[in-house]
Every structure is written in C-alpha cells, then in structure tokens.
Structure 1
Amino acid sequence: MRRRLILGERIMHVDAKTPLNCVFTAKILGSISKENLHKALHKIQQKHPLLQMNIDATGKVPYFILNANIGKIPVRIAERFTNEDWLAESKMEWYKLFDTQNEPLARVVWLKGETESDLLLVLPHCICDGTTILNLLRELMTLIDNPEQELAPYPSFISVNDLLPEDFSITKFAHFKGKIFAALGRLFFFFKATSNHNLDRSNYAVHWKISTENTKKLLLKCKAENTTVHAAICVAFMEAFKQVQGEKAHGKVICPVDIRRFVEAIKQDTMFAFAPIAELKLDQTENSFWTKAQTLKSDLDAKVAEMKVYDLLSMSEYFHSSVNKMIGFLRTTKGTHDVTLSNMGLLNIRQDYQNFKIETIYSPTVAFPWRNANTLVCSTFNGQLDFSFMSNESFLREFDAWQIKARAMELIKENINELADV
C-alpha cells in the first residue's frame, strides 16, 4: 500500500531531516515482564497499519509505504535513577529521527528501577494526536498485564475521500472554490518571508502537577461558575502571558479539537494526526476571571459547533502545492497567539493491574520546530491535573516560561480562594 500524507500529516512531518516527535510517559510501580512488553508491542503493531509503514520522502511529496519487512517496535532499556529521568530522556527522544531502514514509526524507552519504572512511548507527530497516543498507552498496559488478549486490526484509509460520508459530494462549485483558495494561498505565501532552516535545538519543557485536593477544588469551582477547567486554564495563561510579557502578549490561544467527534470513520482507537483548531481571544473588557472563563467556554462551544470538518478535510487537499511554504512560514512567523493549549482531559486508562500499577502519567511533551513553539498540554489522571509547558529558548526564555507558569497558578489560586501552593 502507498498513501500520500494528507495535508495535516505533511505539516507535522515537516521534512525528512526534521524530527517532530511526541513522547508520552507513564510511571509504573511493580514488576513488568520484558517478554510481555515485547508481545504487547507486537500485537499493537499488528493492529495499527501506520506502525507497519515507513515514510518515503525521497520525492516532492512524502508517502506512507506499507513495508512487509518492517522491524519490531524497538525497546531501549536504561537504568532509572530519579523521578526526573523521564524528562531528560524525553528531550533526547525529541530529536531522534525515524529514518533507519525498516524501522517502524514508534519506539519505547524503558527506564528500569528496582521497584519503579518509566515507560516512554515515542512517535512522530505526523501519525498521532493526543487521543492516539493515549489509546496506544492504554493498549500497551492492558497487553502487558494480559498478553493473551487480542486486538482487532483495521484497514488504513487510502485518501481523504475514505473519511468522508457517502452523502458528501464535492460539487463543481466546491472544486472551483478549492482551486481559487489554493491559488490565493500560493499568492499569500509568495509575499511572506519563509525559512527552511532548522532552529537551534534549544527546546525545553516545564513540568508540574496540581495536588489531588486542589484539582478537585478547581473542578468544583468551575462547575459552580458554569464553565470548564479548560476555559479557566486558558484564561489563567493568557492573563499570565500579559502580565509577564506586557505588550508582546496577544491575548489569544489556539486549541486543537479531537477530529473524532466529527468524523465517524476515525474511531477512538484509530491512529490519526490531523486536528482542526479553534482560536480563542481573551475578553479584555471584562475584569472578572470567571466571567472571562464563561465567555471563553461559550466562544469555544460556538466555534466547535460551527466547524465543517468534512469541508475542511476536503478543501485542505487543494493546498499541497503550498505546504512547504506553510512549513517555512511556521518556522519564520512569531504568530498572533500566546500558546497552543491542548487539554487531554480525564485520561481514560486503568490504574491497577495484576503485577503493577500506574502511579502517574505525565502529559505528552513535544519540541515543535516552529518559531512560536509555545505549547501547553494538560491532562488529569488519578485525580491530579498535570501540565507540560514547552517552547524554544530563542522564542520564549525558559526563565520567562517559569514566570508565566507561576503567575498562571497564582491566578487560579486567587480565583478559587483555597488552592494551595503548587
């Protein structure tokens, strides 16, 4: 099988020389069987078509190529010394390409201690989103615990058309509109400064958690205020950016939306990378934190309801001729947003197994090669909110990132009254 990467995948692929990897880590207490780990990875690889493929980027357009001689998902074992080792290993994995012949598009790092281990799942971003990597971790834990369990394979889609419903038709007008928009896109990027040079590899990640007690208080306060934790976090960070960066702050946040809520053909356990986005703006006319959070929630709900994802998938395929310019633009522009905020929500994964338990899960980390690499990923597991805040030293100093983090947490503390220091 040979499938051209769709537009969203091509952007996340960047190019053959630029790594863009997601790393998702779970801390394990107890005993993990090495044999069961390899059995689990084999079954996962047999289920998911993308884990049986390589990317052929030798031509102008990259393709996924089914490889009958694909290797097993590799496991690198290293000794675990501290609770911070996972982050150091994650940073190493950010910059490792998946370019070895017959190497699958996934690997695992096992930081092994006497009673504690960290399992790091590493995938290129062009084959996964947050839902994908969470499902893979869930399958991995389940199969390590019970290697006899079977996973049902599914076929790969061949083109965007396979994702569209039967009653969706591309009219002559829509085709004409796609051609016009593509031409306008080429014209737009023609006048924009772009670069294909890699940034220096000075990406970093700031990681922290909120206690179980304080996470519960935040959840209850958000419910009482008729808003969401996601909206509250958005407001806290946009306000923090404004207070730390002053006039440089934009008061805008970009929020990826899980495409599975719109596209029936993409199941919860289907590997997929493309996510539509909603851009949210802070209401500067309001002073109340919770009024801003309520407005932001309403704005997000309205923008999600208005999304025409089938049209987006269909129309995006007209822009392949501009994709290299798009990538160059992302590497050059400062953007008009403060941060991309991805909230994975409550992680639906079991904590207790026969011979081990998951003590905690760290929100995924990623090192975007864009000029504006500001990214915040948050998730909740075992009653605790977890944050990974990432950027590049050349765009946002790590010192400033720590200040923004501290101010955002102070704002949350101030506005739920009883949130203790984190």
Structure 2
Amino acid sequence: MKRNLLFLERVLFGDGSEPFHGVYALKITGDLDAGQLTAALARLQEKYAMLRTAIGIDAHGRPYFHMPMARPAIPLRIIERTGDEDWNHETVHELGKSFDIANGPLLRIAWLRSDRVSDLIMAFHHCMCDGGSGVALLTDLLALLDDPQADIGKAPAFQSISELVPAEILNSRRNRFKARLSAALVHAGLSLGSLFISTKTKPAPRATDYLINWKLDAERSKALFGYCKKEGVTVNTAIGLALLEAFKTVNGAGAHGKATCPVDIRRYMPEVKRDMLFSYGLALNIGLAQSIGNSFWEKAKTLQTHVSAQMAKLNPYEFTMIMEASHGSVHKLRRFLTYAKVGNDFMFSNMGKLDIPAQYRHFRVDTIYSPTVIGPFANPNTIITTTFGGQMDFSFVSNEQFLPRETALQIRDIAMKILFETVTEPDPVRL
C-alpha cells in the first residue's frame, strides 16, 4: 500500500513533529494475558492495512503512507495499575507522546494491569484514524481478546479520491471547476489572513494538557434522552447549547459564543465503510446568536432549526473535492489554525451509543471512557461524549495555560446545571 495523504490528513499530520492523537481508554474486569494481547494486536495489523504503514515525505515535500520493508509490531506498554485515576494520567501522556512516523505503526496500546482489573489505552495518530474508526478497532480487539480465533474479516482501504467520490461527480466539469474556484478563494482568504497573523506567540506547551472526565448515571441519561425527544431537539444540540451558555457565564466578554461540531462522514458517504480507517469528518457550527427564546428549551429549538438546515446542506463529495483541490494551501491553513486569533469556544462531539458489548466470556467491560483528541492548534478545548451501558460519559481536554482546569470544572458544573434544570433535579454530575 502506498498513497499520498489527503488534504485534511495533511492538516492533521503537519510535519509529523507535533502530536495530534486520539485516545480511547476502557476499564475491564477479568483475566487478560500479555501473549494473547500481543497476538490480538498482530491480528489487527493483518486486518487493517493502515496499521502496517508509516509516513514518508517525497521529493516535493508531500507526505505519503507506505508499508516499510520491516513491519514493526504495534507497541504494547505494560504498567502496574495502582488506582482508578491511573488511566487519566496515562491518557494525557499518550496524547502528548509522538509516534515513530518514519517507521510506524501509527497506533499503540498501554495496558494498566492489576490482579483482576485492567485499563486498556489505545492511542492513534489522528491523520490515520478518527473516533468512529477507533470504535471499529476496539470492537475487534475485544473480540480477539475473548476468542483468539474470532473471525474479524478484512478491512477495506482506499488508494485515491476516486474510490471515495462517485465517478459521475468526480469527473463532472462543473464540479471540478467549482472545486478549483472554491480552493482558490480559500487560498486567497488564507493568504490575506496570514498578513495579520504573528507567529511570536507559541501555543501552550503540551506538558500542561489535562483531561476532565465525568458521567451521567443511567437514570439521568435516560431522562435527558427522553426530554430531548419530547422537545424535538437532538441531544447534541441541547448539550452544545448548555456548554455555550456555560462558557459565556464563566468567561463573560471573553467567550466567543460559538462552537464547532464534527459530523461523522459515514452518515453521508457510504463509500467510507464502518471498519475503514478514516481520519476526518464534516462539520457544522453552532452559536448563541442562533439560539433565540426566553427559556433554555425555546433557545434549543431555534438553534436546532439552524443545525438542521446546516445538516441538510452537507455534501461530503463536494467537500472532499474542494479539499483535494486545496493542497497548495495546507501550510497556510496549518499556520492559521495554530497562530490566528481564536474565534470559537470549543469543539464538541456527541458520538452517541457505542455499539460494543459489555459482557464477554472471559471478562467484562466496566466502562469505556469517551475518546479524547488534542493537537497543536491555538484552541485545544475539546469535549466529546459517548453512551455506554446506558450512561453518558464526557471527556473534556484542554491546556492549563489556555483554559485553567478550575475554569473548565466551573464550565462543566454550570453546563450540567443548565441542562438539567427542567429535566430532573439539579446536580446530575457524578464525579
């Protein structure tokens, strides 16, 4: 396998020196064996070609995925587990630790081991894999740990954009012209914007990154789901609005009143299969300016109208074609994302229910913590939620110098209070 990185893969990759990783962590009760875990990781590499790749740079400075002559195994680090917070510290460690880009692979595992309880931490480079792909990897890994002979199939992979965009769309003269024009406008905008960007102020050092995690119990989670359905508002919109209002309450005039919400591209592009390792998605924007009303749920409904209109316009094929016509702007975009003035408060993603079993023959998955992702860009605030075992789980990652941890905790508490004031009794957070 050898292919050039797509435009957005290059944005996530940068020059390979800065970590831009996603991390999953889960807690398991039962017996795990080091030999069986190593064998399971080898089976994953057999299924997923991308787990056998490294990244090289061609003569024109463009990065490409390729398979080295020697295929390094997926690294496995074993640490003795001393308590229930070890996973948090190790997750932050994995977020900031670079991969061996030149030799690969771009995934590694840390096993926090004790007599009966283990934490597994799976880290991957975001240029190779997103949160949805991470679910597929975890599903297969757990199946193999339970049954080394489990049939996990063979994962599809793509070699070029022609395998993602239907030929009638990709080869349309109108579409190609529109993509080139849009890319030229993007380039012009970034060129103009770069005149006002100073690189003197560096992003905060990664050593001050942190992770805050919390859960809603099953009763609270069910109540929120039901209330959102009754009001005709998605859970994503309701939580996003509560977080926006919390940022505004805590930061006052320093809040931007805006957030970005990734959208799983698999919902719109069937060419990206469930177990195809893919790194980027679509996005929509939410803001307090679109939330009009006297009560929280009135505001949520008006914001939902705005969100639904954006969702209806999402076009993954047009988006991908524009991005692929924009390779000449990749360094300008990276510079803008790293040094330009921050314009939104956070990135928020609700990945919904994780389709992963809790009970296996030889162990039980007690919890799956929501994945985390953080990179070298100016705004590190990222909040991700998932649901496992009927409980919503939240991960909030940021950087102490950008947003002090104590401030993030205030935002969390206020957001949850706002969200549940009319749903159930207050104070839904279980720390």
* 1:237-386 alignment runs, 5 A limit: 237-282=243-288, 283-386=290-393
Paired residue secondary structure (2:421): helix
1:229 equivalent in alignment to 2:235: yes
- Taking the aligned partners of 2:325 and 2:255, their CA distance within structure 1 comes to 33
- Taking the aligned partners of 1:325 and 1:232, their CA distance within structure 2 comes to 34
Name the amino acid aligned to 1:200: P
Scaled by the length of structure 2, the TM-score of the pair is 0.93
Cα gap change, 1:195 to 1:14, in 2 (>3 Å): farther
1:63 equivalent in alignment to 2:64: yes
In the other structure, the counterpart of 1:186 is 187
Whether the aligned pair in 2 keeps the contact of 1:214 and 1:420 (CA below 8 Å) is no
* 1:29-108 alignment runs, 5 A limit: 29-57=29-57, 59=59, 60-99=61-100, 102-108=103-109
In the other structure, the counterpart of 2:161 is 160
Name the amino acid aligned to 2:358: Q
In the other structure, the counterpart of 2:112 is 111
- Taking the aligned partners of 1:154 and 1:391, their CA distance within structure 2 comes to 33
Whether the aligned pair in 1 keeps the contact of 2:210 and 2:399 (CA below 8 Å) is yes
In the other structure, the counterpart of 2:205 is 200
How far does the alpha carbon of each residue in 1:219-253 deviate from its partner, in whole angstroms, 9 at most, with x for none? 22212222222111111100101111112222222
Name the amino acid aligned to 2:273: K
- Taking the aligned partners of 2:383 and 2:361, their CA distance within structure 1 comes to 34
Scaled by the length of structure 1, the TM-score of the pair is 0.95
Mean CA deviation greater in 378-387 or 248-257 = 248-257
- Taking the aligned partners of 1:58 and 1:362, their CA distance within structure 2 comes to 38
- Taking the aligned partners of 2:142 and 2:379, their CA distance within structure 1 comes to 34
1:6 equivalent in alignment to 2:11: no
Pairing partner for 1:414 from 409, 415, 421: 421
Name the amino acid aligned to 1:376: I
Whether the aligned pair in 1 keeps the contact of 2:128 and 2:277 (CA below 8 Å) is yes
- Taking the aligned partners of 1:15 and 1:195, their CA distance within structure 2 comes to 17
- Taking the aligned partners of 1:387 and 1:91, their CA distance within structure 2 comes to 15
Cα gap change, 1:334 to 1:274, in 2 (>3 Å): same
Cα gap change, 1:109 to 1:173, in 2 (>3 Å): same
Cα gap change, 1:274 to 1:101, in 2 (>3 Å): closer
Whether the aligned pair in 2 keeps the contact of 1:145 and 1:354 (CA below 8 Å) is yes
Name the amino acid aligned to 1:55: I
In the other structure, the counterpart of 2:15 is 15
* Gaps in structure 1 of 5+ consecutive residues: none
Whether the aligned pair in 2 keeps the contact of 1:333 and 1:372 (CA below 8 Å) is no
Name the amino acid aligned to 2:265: I
- Taking the aligned partners of 2:337 and 2:199, their CA distance within structure 1 comes to 8
In the other structure, the counterpart of 1:149 is 150
Paired residue secondary structure (1:322): helix
RMSD, matched Cα: 1.8
- Taking the aligned partners of 2:14 and 2:22, their CA distance within structure 1 comes to 14
Whether the aligned pair in 2 keeps the contact of 1:343 and 1:379 (CA below 8 Å) is yes
- Taking the aligned partners of 2:132 and 2:333, their CA distance within structure 1 comes to 25
How far does the alpha carbon of each residue in 1:81-136 deviate from its partner, in whole angstroms, 9 at most, with x for none? 11110110111111221126533111100000111100001100111111111111
Name the amino acid aligned to 2:109: V
Whether the aligned pair in 1 keeps the contact of 2:48 and 2:155 (CA below 8 Å) is yes
In the other structure, the counterpart of 1:217 is 223
- Taking the aligned partners of 1:186 and 1:330, their CA distance within structure 2 comes to 14
CA drift of 1:287 comes to 2.1
Name the amino acid aligned to 2:5: L
Identity of aligned residues (%): 38
Cα gap change, 1:164 to 1:393, in 2 (>3 Å): same
Number of aligned pairs?
422
